[in-house]
Structure 1
């Protein structure tokens, strides 16, 4: 019985390790990816790289701690870019939608998510009793909402 439990535990560990991104040393990032990143974000600081499947994920800051997260393919092309933005940078359509659909909640954090030509926004809303993470299209449509 102990042998079966050990085998199952080992298998679960291997599966969970394989499904999550793994932190890598910057020297392990292909030069085409690293050069693309350096060219686009020369003022990046606090840089951390991960291998996420076949893609390269980098988290970094610009300026006074503005967080960014980008996924690159092996050719150095940006696949997805998440960046922390100010509430005042939200499109008016989203601010209006929050006021009408979530009047009792305040905005706690905002991220702009760019994938190709599509731009969406992840907004954290909260009050003293509840928290929501809501994904909006640039036009203010609710694409997803998750209660935290």
Structure 2
């Protein structure tokens, strides 16, 4: 019983840390993180930083409203990058899967998610009766789906 309580407390602690990122000023971001970000995304605008546990999260835009969100570790390495893309930039295999498995739904939004060398796509699909958030591999495999 004591082990279960400890496990529950640990899980709750991790969840609260993960879900309560803290807004920080750009001056509070380590220079290695800030410099890597500026070098990789020199045209970024509307930049907002958060401390997410021990990692640094930055939301920004490039161009006209193309949203990005990146998580950096303290050494300035990108851990995860989410970027909005147009449905025309989805791999053909993903578009084909949507057209066969979700033919009654239309695409409402698309994100390309890169973690290391792995790329996935988060696609919001909807019609007047239902909404889905579906995660696809680059080969069109459905990895996960959530009924919103």
TM exceeding 0.5: yes
After TM superposition, give the deviation of residue 18 of structure 1 in Å: 4.0
Q: RMSD in angstroms over aligned alpha carbons? A: 1.1
Query: What are the superposed Cα offsets for residues 5-53 of structure 1, whole Å, 9 maximum, x if unpaired?
Result: xxxxxxxxxx686441111011100000000000000000000000001
For residue 7 of structure 1, what is the aligned residue in structure 2?
Answer: none
What is the number of equivalent residue pairs in this alignment? 134
1:109-120, aligned counterparts within 5 Å?
109-120=109-120
For residue 31 of structure 1, what is the aligned residue in structure 2?
Answer: 31
1:26-105, aligned counterparts within 5 Å?
26-105=26-105
Distance in 2 (CA, whole Å) between partners of 1:76 and 1:125 is 34
Query: What are the superposed Cα offsets for residues 96-132 of structure 1, whole Å, 9 maximum, x if unpaired?
Result: 1001111100000000000010000000000001000
Larger radius of gyration: 1
TM-score, scaled relative to structure 2: 0.88
Query: What are the superposed Cα offsets for residues 62-90 of structure 1, whole Å, 9 maximum, x if unpaired?
Result: 00010000000000000000000010000
Structure 2 gap segments, 5+ residues each = 1-12
* 1:133 and 2:133 matched: yes
What SS does structure 2 have at the residue aligned with 1:140? coil
Distance in 2 (CA, whole Å) between partners of 1:26 and 1:59 is 12
What SS does structure 1 have at the residue aligned with 2:37? helix
Distance in 2 (CA, whole Å) between partners of 1:95 and 1:17 is 36
Distance in 1 (CA, whole Å) between partners of 2:142 and 2:54 is 30
TM-score, scaled relative to structure 1: 0.88
Distance in 2 (CA, whole Å) between partners of 1:17 and 1:87 is 34
Structure 1 gap segments, 5+ residues each = 1-14
Contact in 1 for aligned 2:122/2:136 (Cα 8 Å): yes
